[in-house]
Amino acid sequence: MSQMFKISLPDGSVREMPEGSTPADVAAAIGPGLAKAALAAKIDGELVDLTRPFTGDASLALVTSRDEAEALNLARHDFAHILAEAVQALFPGTQITFGPSTDDGFYYDFAPKDRPFTDDDLPAIEAEMRRIIAADKPLRREVWDREQLISRWKQQGENFKAEWAAELPGDEPLTVYWSGDDWLDMCRGPHLPSTGKLDPAAFKLTRVSGAYWRGDQKNAMLSRIYGTGWLNKKQLSAHLTRLEEAAKRDHRKLGGEMDLFHLQHEAHGSVFWHPKGYVIYRALEDYMRRAISQADCKEVKTPQVMDARQWEQSGHWGKYRENMFVIPDEVPNTEDDGPIISEDAEWMALKPMNCPAHVLIFKQGIKSYRDLPLRIVENGCCHRNEPHGALHGLMRVRQFTQDDGHIFCREDQIVGEVQAFCEMADKVYRDFGFTYSIKLALRPDNRIGSDEQWDKAEAELRDAVERAGLATPEYGWEELPGEGAFYAPKLEWHLTDAIGRTWQVGTIQSDRMLPERLDAHYIGEDGARHRPVMLHRAIFGSYERFIGILIEHFAGKLPVWLAPVQAVVATIVSDADDYAAEVSAKLKAAGIRVETDVRNEKINYKVREHSLKKIPHLLVVGKREAEEGTVALRTLGAEHQKVMTLDEAIALLKTEATAPDLVA
């Protein structure tokens, strides 16, 4: 007689199922509707296939399309496998490698037999994928002996799979998944019950690129095929619409059209700011300087290059060395083969962050407990040796400037300081029209410091957010295990832009490690030496990236106070040229950034051209306006113009051109 297992369901009920039963059997026992809707299962919290047998009493939650996060990940994982199966069916001899899901889809890396794949191959691959989905092939899990699987891969010429199987850690058997009876891939799973559970209209292959095997440029170049995958056609259509809108808002495209900046290979990863772009940059700097002044922060400036021994002591040299630009001592080479690094070279490095330099400022002179908190901020230029392929316009660069600050405080001041920062960040982001969510990134596996120190630091950040009233669903409060920095937990602010994308920008980190490593201390009320706690904080993150986010959020139509050119005075006829000059002079005197367009062009041409440049206001003047002392005001995005006196127009523009009041 078979043993009976007690299976506890989310509604509190318990079902007894015979040994050998699976979640699919439980779903069928509950009803045919659930059996059809079930995609996977959680047994004691672990996501598994519906066909995984129970091994004893267990809790069970069935996953359906209503569980969107899990369902999407499963679907995208399956799309990746079906992509690999389709490619091998169409291009025999192609070797398969890896194929994970991504935030909005999936990809798979291939080693083609004859030639790299191109975008022209995608329609045929999509058609084959839909054929596989329509065949409703069962996806079946098997456990293989490692050596047996390696042997099979080698026999089939799958050298990449054989290499990976041999190097996987441990000596346990490996799992594979069959698609029907004729194709398999090595995978931990889980998967959907069959290919037919996918919507054939819910995916699209998007592009082909090159990728190195295991991400190492010393290895073979592979062909990577990207796709986007969803649960249904409606979700796919919405995503493609978002992509179209994102392409229109691309900051690189708009940056060129608006003459803000450019990038080129002579300074790869660094930005050439044009005059108009630098106006935005300086407006943000001015805004942030007012913000930090009101928060009683002191601005500092520190060196770009520091001795490597300082980075060794701080811990960055050992954990961040590959991302730093280093500068060794050199001696001339008489054979003209370039410089030689001397054996006793004094290594220097361009700073990738400002933290150690700020500790050195703190250490100048004796600090008392009465001097704390000490808040210092630097608009500090930093350099990080980002991989070439990771660079992306303003969003990911090698040279950038942070609104980087550090608060040195006593233990009893931490929660209050973090709370004040949370309230300041809330005001700043709302000034720019953003909503946001707050995340608490907790200790990673690779970290320094004791568990006791991490417990205390995490609790302090959590407490501060709660006191600020921000640890609520309204603010998307979430804790992220393993996502903290190696030296400290951190709070992260994730902004949501106009088309629903999120951007992680601001952060504050509670750090007890760096003051200890760099021997920072203050004299306490008891006359003894104590370590300060160091709070790392930033709101914009980097000016470059924040400007890129702003351009895309506003689709180039920046708030008037940020716009490089806030108004253009455009003439209808040459008889109004003198009046246009008078209007421009009065606008400049009122502090408005204005240009004058007296070209011999039709006014409709001028309107269209300045609209493309995202000029907020166009003041059109002709003979009548000159006689009456008025202007015809055209506001970007408005359907109709408004005729008003020049004084009225100046008052309106002056109000809009004023930066937000940080005290409000």
How would you write 65-130 as a 3-class SS string? CCCHHHHHHHHHHHHHHHHHHHHHHHCCCCEECCCCECCCEEEEEEECCCCCCCHHHHHHHHHHHH
> Is 254 domain-assigned?
no
Distances in whole angstroms, Cα of residue 305 to Cα of each of 266, 362, 382, 482, 486: 21, 18, 10, 31, 23
Q: Which residue do the tokens 């010429």 mark?
A: 157
Annotated catalytic residue: which of 490, 494, 517, 553? 490
Claim to verify: residue 367 and residue 438 sit in the same structural domain: yes
Residues 6 or more apart whose Cβ sits within 8 Å of residue 566: 560, 592, 593, 594, 615, 616, 617, 653, 656, 657
Long-range contacts of 445-450 (CB under 8 A, 24+ apart): 445/482, 446/319, 446/486, 447/484, 447/486, 447/487, 448/315, 448/486, 448/487, 448/513, 449/487, 449/512, 449/513
Task: Say if 342 falls within a structural domain.
Answer: no
Is 355 considered catalytic here? yes
Whether cis (ω within 30° of 0) applies to the bond prior to 373 is yes
Q: What is the pLDDT of residue 82?
A: 97
pLDDT of residue 626: 94
The domain containing residue 537 runs over which residues? 265-304+351-552
CB 350 within 8 A of CB 327: yes
Position 664 scores a pLDDT of 46
In a domain, 31, yes or no: yes
d(CA 385, CA 399): 9
304 catalytic? Reply is no
Q: Retrieve residue 458's tokens.
A: 């995490």
Closest CA relative to residue 165, chosen from 182, 187, 184, 180? 187
Task: Say whether 490 is catalytic.
Answer: yes
Q: Check which CATH number belongs to the domain holding 156 and give it.
A: 3.30.980.10
Instruction: Return the DSSP state at 392.
Output: B
Q: Do both 126 and 106 map to the same domain?
A: yes
Taking alpha carbons only, the member of 87, 183, 91, 202 closest to residue 138 is: 183
- Strands (E) located in 19-66: 40-43, 46-48, 58-63
For residues 8-20, one letter each, b for 16 or more C-beta atoms within 10 angstroms of the residue's C-beta and e for the rest, the string is eeeeeeebebeee
Is 276 labeled as catalytic in the residue annotation? no
Instruction: Tell me which residue has tokens 């990038």.
Output: 263
Q: Confirm if 431 and 660 have CB atoms less than 8 A apart.
A: yes
Place of tokens 């004893």: 56
What Rg value do the Cα atoms of the chain yield, rounded? 31
Examine residue 326 and state whether it is found in any structural domain, yes or no: no
The residue with tokens 């005290």 is 663
Does residue 520 sit in the same domain as residue 438?
yes
The residue from 42, 351, 384, 613 that is catalytic is: 384
One domain for residues 159 and 216: yes
The total of other beta-carbon atoms located within 10 Å of residue 37's CB is: 15
* Residue 642 structure tokens: 């408004």
Residues 385 and 279 grouped into a single domain: yes
What is residue 373's predicted lDDT score, i.e. its pLDDT?
A: 97
Answer yes or no: is 341 within a domain: no
Q: What pLDDT sits at residue 597?
A: 96
Active-site pick, 161, 197, 351, 406 = 406
Q: How far, in Å, CA of 7 to CA of 25, rounded?
A: 11
State yes or no: is 519 an active-site residue: no
Say yes or no: 288 and 425 in one domain: yes
Residue 471 and residue 462 in contact, taking contact as beta carbons nearer than 8 Å: yes
Q: What does pLDDT average to in each consecutive run of 10 residues of the chain (664 residues)?
A: 86 91 93 93 94 93 93 96 97 94 94 94 98 96 92 94 88 90 92 96 96 88 96 95 93 95 92 97 96 94 90 80 79 51 69 93 95 96 87 94 96 95 94 94 87 90 93 89 87 93 93 90 96 95 96 96 97 94 96 95 94 95 94 92 95 93 59
Give a yes or no: residue 127 inside a domain.
Answer: yes
Q: Which of 404, 497, 511, 597 is catalytic?
A: 404
Of 88, 95, 310, 402, catalytic: 402
Judge whether 175 and 143 are in contact, CB under 8 Å.
yes
State the number of CA atoms in the 13 A half-sphere of 530 facing the CB: 19
Q: What angle do CA 431, 566, 400 make, to 5 degrees?
A: 60
Decide if 39 is inside a domain: yes
Active site annotation includes 297: no
pLDDT attached to residue 344 = 57
Same domain (yes/no): 435, 546: yes
User: One of 355, 382, 409, 422 is an active-site residue; which one?
Assistant: 355
Of residues 383, 398, 536, 606, which has the active-site annotation? 536
**Does the annotation count 617 as an active-site position?**
no
Residues 124, 38 share a domain: no
Count structural domains, the chain.
4
Where does a domain end: 194, 216, 245? Answer: 245
Determine the Cα–Cα distance for residues 95 and 98; give it in Å rounded to an integer: 10
CA 520 and chain centroid, separation: 33
Query: Is residue 383 classed as helix, strand or coil in its secondary structure?
Result: strand
**Is 156 within the bounds of a domain?**
yes
The reported pLDDT for the residue numbered 323 is 85
Please indicate, yes or no, whether residues 371 and 480 belong to a single structural domain of this protein. yes
